[in-house]
Chains A and B, each alone.
Chain A
Amino acid sequence: MRDDETLFRGMDARSWARLVSLVAPGLAPLPPSRQVRDGSLAGGMLLVAHDGVRVLKALHTLRGVVPADGPWEGRATLTALAAQNDTRFAFAVKHDATERFMERVGGRCTMDDDAVTTALMMLNALRELMDEGSLDVLPTGLRSVPLPPVEVVRGAWDRILPDGHAAVLALFDGPALVSGVALRRRDGRVDAVHGVESLRAWCGPLGGDYRRDHRVIRAAVEQHLGPLAAGVFAPEETVHRLLRAEVPGVWAKAVAVRDVIVEPMPAWAAMATGVSAFRAAADESRRWALSADGWIARATRAVSELASSVDLESVLGFDPLGALGLVLRESRPRPAPPADE
């Protein structure tokens, strides 16, 4: 392994598939025999090509080419086609949009761009195409997710994983460590990513209770990768549920009752979960205050409004869990793994 390459190690296909499909259920693997274009699978994504005047072609990732012609009338046409094909995720691409995208990327990329700069540059190019009408996307919420400046993302990254530190996510299914990842940042970039095979090898046999095993895992990761900046240890099902929750304060509550162990708890996470818990409590108080009057009610409403203005976004500069939750709540459920796995 040489130069600035990231080292990926200890990744078996099953645990990695579980981890990825937790945050991207649309990428959950299915066997070829399940990939039949008869509409029997829920979800999927629709891709509509048009020339600004007429619809040229529509491709559905689970149904193949689907009938679509007639005039192109902007978002209304895309919404109607998505509804016809029972999907909530759809892209409309003007025939020259991809070439425009490649021209913009070509004019802006440099060899020295890091992953953050590259990702934001590409997202900005896509946003420009949306503004021009060359690209449209459903659900509409994705269009309004704010793109933070590079400095904000880099600053957040510095807080989440300081240089020279490691982070770990370990997910359990009952007593078994079934999925996870440990990574280390060094010289400003992630230089090592380890899967669950490495974690198992470093830890040896575990007791089967994540509320105790987290200490063993933390010690093992610190021994092999360096000081831990943050560690999250939880049942896979709990994380799956929390990522989709809309109610404020669920992460804070889960941490408070130790459904999720965050160890060590970085300052930004302590602040975010604290604010989140406070906000959840304030929401409860507000409901009570709405039926009351006088000084207590006015004070409670003021505190509640203050609480609603601060959250993970105010700590990190943007809210990655919010954007992820928006997508996950629209996604199909994660398919069950095959019985013989």
Chain B
Amino acid sequence: MHPPIRAASLRFTHLDRARWPAAVRALVALGFDAIDLPLVWRDYAHDDGSPDTARLDHDVRALLAVVRDAGARAVLRVGPSPVPDLHRLGLPDAILNDAAARSHTRRRNPRWTTDGLRMVPVPSMRSERYVEAASAWVRAACAHAGDDGVARVIVGCGDPTVLRDAPQDPDCVGLDAATADLAESEASALATFLERLATETGVDASRVVLTIPGDPLANGAAAALAPRWALGWAALHARAGVRAIWRGARLATTLPAGHHVDLRAGHAPLEAPSRATDALEVARIALAAGVRDFTLLHGCAGAGWVGAVLDDQGIARSPAARWEALLGWAHELPDGRDVHVAVPHDRAAILRARSEAVLGALPISWLSRWGFDLDDVTAAPTGALAAEDAAVAHGAPWAPVLGDAGANETTTLTAHIDPPGAALVRVVEGGGARSWVLANTGVASVNVTVGDQGRTLDAGAVAVLHEETGDA
């Protein structure tokens, strides 16, 4: 098992270059062991959309040196559209204005998505022009990805800046008999696009993460890619609730090739507001659920972001001390083999359910921010929620599994939870010990008993019990 990555992002193009070293050192001092560097195509593009390799090379070299000097590793996030707070999706105007690169609706109108208070056309992953241009960008951005200090390269579109889960999402074609086939085709297009970009990075596949926009349990491409590639996605917003946040984070621990989850400190200015206390609670739940590799967006944003850990000058804001404490707490969480009752989400079921989603073009990624699952919106539920409900009601450790991999693990391990189903459970075995991580999902206190140990959990609280050694 590789060492965990606890990264904080640095939106360096929004920050005075002279402040880069101080900002990186401040984030490392808080306990982050890696710095996530989003490389935005639009910031390094010539007028024709081709990458300005000289300037890119100059900045990336300098940043890698700064990160190395601070004793941290780097995560390169190359997109296209790597983070949520981008102007015009972070793409050059030459791409956005090129009709040959655009995606279209069923009636051949251009597809548009929000860009602050304006709209911007969505590029097509099937467009040869777009794929070639994006590949050239990724090659240029990854010129130094082979550097020893680079721990990960993250490819793909970030947290859903687009209205739909993906530009070629089957949702946007509405309901008709052909959508099942079309959904399969669209998922394949997304998977092909991401794999093409992954190969352009030129680095070993074990260091590449493919970003899945939206809910991975509703994404056929995610199911197809999970066996071969580490997947990345965004943890849910606080308004999704404890259960949905835990569920998404827990899924990450079952991916065979690894995971990378984006946590949030703050938000883009035109997104729904979130307080630092809520962001910390989301992070606590995700880490308790087993997330090992993560990036905190944004550690330092410079500008264009509300509530980063460091302010616009690279100086720690008041919640920074709480993030430091949270990272210290995360170090104490049990590390080992996760025991679970698996709830599989196979690709065919995902595609079938998506094609019968009763809300037509409403994006499932958008609904997932309120904690709605694919089963909630489809006329043909996959049944995953019912299976999860049954496991939780018995106090069993459960986790969803993407795709057909990971056959159900049978286990007799259960916790006694009163009232039943009011807490979620994770069991970790390692070093001759068994640890139980529990999270209360209700608004009332919950009594939990594991073996001869008992504990009362307040609303939203997370606790760890060790069977042999007692309460942590």
Mark A residues whose CB is within 8 Å of B: 1-3, 5-14, 16-17, 20-21, 27-38, 40, 47, 49, 56-57, 59, 61, 64-65, 93, 95-99, 101-103, 105-107, 109, 111, 113-115, 118-119, 193, 195, 197, 337-338, 340-341
Contacts and interface: CB of A to CB of B under 8 A. Distances in A.
Given A6-B116, A13-B279, A93-B362, A102 B269 contact: no
Given A29-B278, A33-B459, A36-B441, A12 B317 contact: yes
Contacts of A109: 110, 112, 119, 121
A8 B112 contact: no
A119 B460 CA distance: 39
A106 B281 contact: no
Interface string B247-265: 0000000000000000001
B121 A111 contact: yes
Contacts of A9: 303, 312
A35 B238 contact: yes
B245 A13 contact: no
B360 A97 contact: yes
A99 B442 contact: no
Interface string B73-107: 00000000000000100000000110000001111
Given A7-B304, A30-B238, A109-B119, A98 B362 contact: yes
Given A33-B461, A118-B117, 15 more contacts: A2-B43, A8-B303, A10-B312, A13-B267, A27-B273, A29-B272, A32-B281, A35-B239, A36-B443, A56-B379, A99-B105, A99-B174, A106-B112, A337-B275, A338-B277
Contacts of B362: 93, 98
A71 to B, nearest CB: 16
Nearest to A17: B273
B376 interface: yes
Nearest to B246: A32
B118 A13 contact: no
Contacts of A37: 241, 371
B277 A31 contact: yes
Most buried by B among A13, A21, A38, A40: A13
11 contacts: A13-B274, A29-B278, A32-B245, A33-B440, A57-B359, A64-B372, A98-B359, A99-B173, A101-B361, A111-B97, A340-B277
Most buried by B among A7, A28, A65: A65
Contact of B306 (A1, A8, A36, A49): A8
A95 B360 contact: yes
B174 A57 contact: no
A194 to B, nearest CB: 10
A31 B281 contact: yes
A12 B274 contact: no
Given A59-B376, A98-B361, A11 B281 contact: no
Interface in B57-83: none
Contact of A32 (B118, B276, B278, B377): B278
B358 A49 contact: yes
B307 interface: yes
A18 to B, nearest CB: 8
Contact of B372 (A38, A40, A59): A59
Nearest to B369: A61
A13 B276 contact: yes
A157 to B, nearest CB: 12
Contacts of B111: 102, 106
A62 B112 CA distance: 29
Contacts of A34: 443, 459-460
A64 B441 CA distance: 15
A14 B241 CA distance: 20
A40 B175 contact: no
A62 B317 CA distance: 32
B282 interface: yes
Nearest to B267: A13
Contacts of B359: 47, 49, 57, 93, 95, 98
Give the interface SS of chain A, mostly helix, strand, loop or mixed.
Answer: mixed
Interface of B: 14, 42-43, 87, 96-97, 104-107, 109-112, 116-121, 163, 172-175, 238-242, 245, 265-267, 269, 272-279, 281-282, 285, 303-307, 311-312, 317, 319, 358-362, 367, 370-372, 376-377, 379, 440-443, 459-461
A341 B281 CA distance: 13
Contacts of A16: 269, 273, 306-307
Contacts of B442: 36, 38
A197 B318 CA distance: 12
A118 B106 contact: no
Given A106-B110, A106-B111, A99 B276 contact: no
Contacts of A36: 241-242, 441-443
B136 to A, nearest CB: 20
B17 to A, nearest CB: 13
B169 to A, nearest CB: 11
Contacts of B376: 57, 59, 64-65
Contacts of B266: 13
Contacts of A341: 275-277
Contacts of B172: 99, 102
A32 B307 contact: no
Most buried by B among A16, A101, A340: A16
A313 B357 CA distance: 43
Given A30-B238, A111-B96, A8 B279 contact: no
A113 B118 contact: yes
A107 B370 contact: no
A14 B440 contact: no
B306 A38 contact: no
Given A33-B443, A34-B443, A113-B118, A20 B242 contact: no
Nearest to B87: A5
A72 B21 CA distance: 62
A61 B241 contact: no
List 8 tightest A-B contacts by C-beta distance, closest first: A33-B460, A13-B307, A106-B109, A98-B361, A115-B117, A35-B241, A17-B273, A99-B174
A17 B459 CA distance: 23
Nearest to A59: B372
A49 B361 CA distance: 12
Given A12-B307, A13-B276, A195-B306, A103 B105 contact: yes
Contacts of A14: 275-276, 307
Contact of A1 (B105, B241, B303, B379): B303
A180 to B, nearest CB: 14
A188 B301 CA distance: 26
Given A8-B303, A59-B367, A33 B281 contact: yes
